Amino acid sequence: QKEVEQNSGPLSVPEGAIASLNCTYSDRGSQSFFWYRQYSGKSPELIMSIYSNGDKEDGRFTAQLNKASQYVSLLIRDSQPSDSATYLCAVNKGPNTGTASKLTFGTGTRLQVTL
Amino acid sequence: DGGITQSPKYLFRKEGQNVTLSCEQNLNHDAMYWYRQDPGQGLRLIYYSQIVNDFQKGDIAEGYSVSREKKESFPLTVTSAQKNPTAFYLCASSIGWGNNQPQHFGDGTRLSIL
């Protein structure tokens, strides 16, 4: 079992719809969770961080975390063609020592928003 | 502007050659990281550094070396021992103590074999 799993996609949604991206992780002790957006040929860009169970909203983006079920999801409302990218889920296992934030990345889900 | 600068953007390596990728940050971040990204494989950690003059191996350190002589700089050398160096190399940094901090990435360097 991979430490962080994502469906590679592509996930195709029409413009204006809600895109739902999912990520599961294997280490129950994981403490912090991040979503990155990566356009083709570019570097990852942080779009959401979530640390506790529940929902966290930022504009059109909502991150959802369920530690009991070991999954984290990203919802994108009113999807736009500019949202077409690969979305990477990253998980930090801990422990909370030192300055380094060691992340384990999923392989990403490719999202296509169609006109 | 504050950020992470990687150079060069594209790099070509000849057989038996060592090449060095530059990473500079002016964010005053303590921790810095190097990743390699191959198609369909996600990001894999090569080395990371929590403080000046200290660095740790990541998951795929063989064939690579790093130094951290200044807080702002974390260069990566791809040695001739790395037999499959063609990849997209990403440098990242994170602030402060504790591992709840997100990482922020530079624009990357694409390395290819001549």
Instruction: Give the 3-state secondary structure of chain A.
Output: CCCEECCCCCEEEECCCCEEEEEEECCCCCCEEEEEEECCCCCCEEEEEECCCEEEEECCEEEEEECCCCEEEEEECCCCHHHCEEEEEEEECCCCCCCCCCEEECCCEEEEEEC
pLDDT (mean) for B63-82: 96
Which residues, 6+ apart, have CB-to-CB distance to A43 below 8 Å?
Answer: B90, B105, B106, B107, B108
Contact map slice: A 1-60 vs B, CB within 8 A: 8, 31-32, 34, 42-46, 49, 51
Q: And the tokens for B102?
A: 């997100």
- Distance from C-alpha of A101 to C-alpha of A59, rounded to nearest angstrom: 26
- Which of chain B's residues have a Cβ under 8 Å away from the Cβ of A42? 107-108
Tens-digit pLDDT profile for residues A64-86: 999 999 999 999 999 999 999 99
The pLDDT value recorded for residue A29 is 85
Reply yes or no on whether the pLDDT at B90 is more than 90. Answer: yes
Q: Which residues pair with B48 in a beta bridge?
A: B33, B56
B51 at the A interface (CB within 8 A)? yes
Tens-digit pLDDT profile for residues B14-59: 888 999 999 999 999 999 999 999 987 789 999 999 889 999 999 9
Q: How many CB atoms are located within 10 Å of the residue A13 CB?
A: 18
B97 at the A interface (CB within 8 A)? yes
pLDDT (mean) for B68-92: 95
Q: What is the DSSP string of B4-50?
A: EEEE-SEEEE-TT--EEEEEEE-S--SEEEEEEEETTTEEEEEEEEE
pLDDT (mean) for B72-91: 95
- Distance from C-alpha of B107 to C-alpha of B21, rounded to nearest angstrom: 12
**How far B77 CA sits from the closest chain A CA (Å)?**
20
- List the single best residue of A56, A86, A102 to mutate versus B (max B Cβ within 10 A): A102
Q: Which residues pair with B33 in a beta bridge?
A: B48, B92
pLDDT (mean) for A86-99: 78
- Distance from C-alpha of A30 to C-alpha of B105, rounded to nearest angstrom: 22
Which residues, 6+ apart, have CB-to-CB distance to B39 below 8 Å?
Answer: none
**How far B97 CA sits from the closest chain A CA (Å)?**
4
Tens-digit pLDDT profile for residues A16-62: 999 999 999 999 888 899 999 999 999 999 999 999 999 999 999 99
Amino acid at site A99: T
- Distance from C-alpha of B106 to C-alpha of B86, rounded to nearest angstrom: 18
